[in-house]
Amino acid sequence: MVRYASEKPTHMATYSVSDAVATYYLYDQYVHLFIFSLCTLIPMGPEDVLRKGSGTLCEALLQVEAFKKNIVCPNKDVEPLTKFHNGHLLDAETYIGGHVECLETGVYRSDTPCKFDLTPSALQSLIDNVDRDLTFFIEVEKGIERSEITNYDEVRSEIVEKLELLRDNPVREEEPYIYHLDVGAMYPNIILTNRLQPHAVSNEATCACGYQGDNGCKRQMDWIWRGDYAPASKSEYERTRMQLTQHNERVDDKPFLDYDPKDQAAIVSKRVKQYCHKVYKKTKETKEEERTATVCMRENPFYVDTVRRFRDRRYNFKKMTKKWKGQAKKAEKEGKALDAKHAKDMTLVYDSLQVAHKCILNSFYGYVMRKGARWRSMEMAGIVTLTGAKLITQARELVEQIGRPLELDTDGIWCILPKSFPENFQFKTKDGGKEMIEYPCCMLNSDVHDRYTNHQYQTLDPKTGKVSLDEERSDELATRSLATKTTHNRTFIPPPSPTP
Ligand SMILES: [Zn+2]
C-alpha cells in the first residue's frame, strides 16, 4: 500500500474510494433499515442490536413479554459439569432433525422430457381422496361453503380424468413441471400447532402444569436423542477421578484441587479419554435413541403467543409491502413522481420490518437449544426438527409415487411431475368470484392437515377460568403449509464433499 501510495497515488485513491462507496451501498441496502426495524422490536439501541446474536435478541424480547404478563423469568440454564448416560461419562449430546439430501443431479428443464415410472395405486388413492382434498381447499383454506361453488363437478371430473390417464399409463416419458414444494415458516408453525414451549416440556408423570391425572393436556411427542459417551464404566470413571483428587496430582504445574470445578471436570474428562484410548482402543461411542417427551397443552401460553403475534405481524407487513409496491407502480404510471417516491420509501420500510420479523421468528426455534438460555429445552428443539423431518419424508414418499423428487432440504422438496398431472384449475362462486386452485399443493396440504392437526390444543378463558379445546389453533401448519413455486429450469449440482 505504501508503495502504491507513493508511486500511483491516483490509482490508490480510486481504489480506496470505490471500496468506501461499495461499503456504503451495502450498508444502505442491507443494514440501515434492517437495524432500525430490529430496534422497534427489541429493547436495545442500534449498536447492541447489531452486535448481539439473534438468540440474545429473542431472549430480550421474551423477557419483555414475560414482564408484561407478570411471569417470573427463569434463571439462565446451567448445565451440570458432568453428565452420565447409563453409567457412562457423557461427552456431548444433541438431537437429530432436518437434513438436506440430494437425490438426483443434472439439468432439468420444463421443455426437456423426463422418464417417469408412476405408481398406479398412489394415483388411485388420489382419485379416491379427490373430494376430501377439494373440500379441504374450498372450506378450510378459502373459508367458502362448498355449495357456493358453481362448477365443482366440472373441476372434479377434469382432475379425475387426468389422474385416471396417468394411472392407466404409468410408464411414460414427457416434459416435466418443476416444482419447489415448501412449507411456509415450517418451524414456527410446528411450534404453534403443537403448542410447544420450553417450560411446558417434561418427562415426569406429573405434567408441567402440575395437574395429575388425565385431562388431555399431556401431549406425547417424539424426538431423537444422540449422544457421545465414553466406553469406560462408571467405576473406571470414579477411579480416574480419585487418582487425581487423592494424590492432588499436579496438572500443568498446578495441583488438581486448586483448579475450579469446571476445569477439574475438563481435566477428568480428558483423562478418561486417554484411558479409553488405551484400554478400549476408542475414545467414544455414539448412540441414537428415540425418546418421547410430554408437552403440556395447558401451560401458560406466553411463549407460543409471542411467536404467534410475531408471525401474524410479519404477515401484515408482507401485505403492506405488497400494497405499497402496487401504489408505487400506479403512481409511476400516472406520472406522479412525488407519490411514487413516497410509495417506494414505504415499500422499503415495510419490507425491512418484514425481514426483521422473519429473522427473529426463525430464531425462536434455535434459541431454545442455546446454552445458557432462560427458556431452554433440548427436547423441544428435537421435537420441532423431528416433526418437520417426518412431514417432509411423508411428502417425499408421495412425490416418489407420482413424480420424481430431486432434492430434499429441511422444509421443502424440489421435484418434477409429469406435465399431464392436474395442475391449475379455477373454481367459480355464485357471487361471480373466482378461486384459483393448484391441485398438487391442495392435495398435499389436505394430507398434512389430516396427519398434523393437534386435537389437544387447549385454551384457558381468563374470564371464566375454563379450559376448552381450541380447534382454530390446532392446525396452523396445514392451513398455510406447502406453498408452491413453479420454476422452469433448474440445475442440481452434486453436493460438495464435506469439508474437514
Ligand atoms: Zn398439563
Q: Reply yes or no on whether the pLDDT at 489 is more than 60.
A: no
Using alpha carbons only, give the angle 340, 24, 28 rounded to the nearest 5 degrees. Answer: 40
Distance (Å, whole) CA 21 – CA 14:
10
For ligand 1, the distance from its centroid to the CA atom of residue 157, given in whole angstroms, is: 47
Task: Label each residue of 476-494 as H, E or C.
Answer: HHHHCCEEEEEECEEEECC
Residue 48 forms part of a structural domain: no
Cα–ligand 1 centroid distance for 207 (angstroms): 4
pLDDT of residue 215: 75
Say what the pLDDT of residue 400 is. 94
Question: CB neighbours of 422 closer than 8 A, spacing ≥ 6?
Answer: 158, 159, 162, 163, 439, 440
Q: How far is the CA of 456 from the centre of ligand 1 (A)?
A: 11
CA of 400 to the centre of ligand 1 (A): 40
* pLDDT at residue number 481: 45
Q: Is 86 a member of any domain?
A: no
- Measured in Å, residue 311 CA sits from the centre of ligand 1 at 25
Ligand 1 centroid to Cα of residue 63, in Å, is 23
Q: What is the pLDDT of residues 208-232, one digit of tens each?
A: 677 776 777 888 999 999 999 999 9
Query: What's the domain range around 425?
Result: 101-198+377-492
Confidence band of 491 (pLDDT split at 50, 70, 90): low
Q: State the distance from the centre of ligand 1 to the C-alpha of 460, rounded, in angstroms.
A: 12
Cα of 209 from ligand 1 centre, angstroms:
4
CA of 361 to the centre of ligand 1 (A): 26
In this predicted structure, what is the pLDDT of residue 172? 95
pLDDT of residue 271: 92
Give a yes or no: residue 309 inside a domain. Answer: no
Grid cell digits, residue 207: 405434567
Any domain includes 404? yes
Q: How far is the CA of 86 from the centre of ligand 1 (A)?
A: 29
393 in a domain, yes or no?
yes
Point out the least confidently predicted range of 88-102, 141-155, 452-466: 452-466
pLDDT-derived band of residue 359, with 50, 70 and 90 as boundaries? confident
pLDDT at res. 110: 84
Average pLDDT over residues 378-382: 93
> Is 347 a member of any domain?
no
Ligand 1 centroid – CA 111 distance (Å): 55
| % of the chain with per-residue pLDDT over 70 | 91
- Centre of ligand 1 to C-alpha 221, Å, is 14
Q: Could you read off the pLDDT of 401-454 as tens digits, one per residue?
A: 999 999 988 888 889 999 999 989 999 999 888 988 889 888 888 888 888 888
What is the 340 CA–ligand 1 centroid distance (Å)?
Answer: 54
Number of structural domains the chain divides into: 1
Q: Examine residue 12 and state whether it is found in any structural domain, yes or no.
A: no
**Average pLDDT, rounded, for the chain:** 87
Q: 473 alpha carbon to ligand 1 midpoint, in Å? A: 18
Specify the pLDDT at position 493. Answer: 60
pLDDT at 320: 94
- Kindly give the distance from the C-alpha atom of residue 298 to the centroid of ligand 1, in angstroms, as a whole number: 5
Distance 312 CA to ligand 1 centre (A): 26
Identify the pLDDT of residue 479: 40
Q: How far is the CA of 455 from the centre of ligand 1 (A)?
A: 15
Question: How many angstroms is it from 127 CA to the middle of ligand 1?
Answer: 41
Question: Cα(450) to centroid of ligand 1, in Å?
Answer: 25
Segment holding 177, helix H or strand E: strand 176-183
Tell how far the Cα of 293 is from the centroid of ligand 1, in angstroms: 12
Domain-embedded: residue 163: yes
What's the CA-to-centroid distance between 295 and ligand 1, angstroms? 7
CA of 210 relative to ligand 1 center, distance in Å: 6
Note the pLDDT tens digit of each residue in 163-217.
Answer: 999 999 999 999 998 888 888 788 888 898 899 999 888 766 667 677 776 777 8
Q: Quick one: which of 331, 367, 368 has its CA closest to 347?
A: 331
CA–CA distance, 171 with 166 (Å, rounded to integer): 9
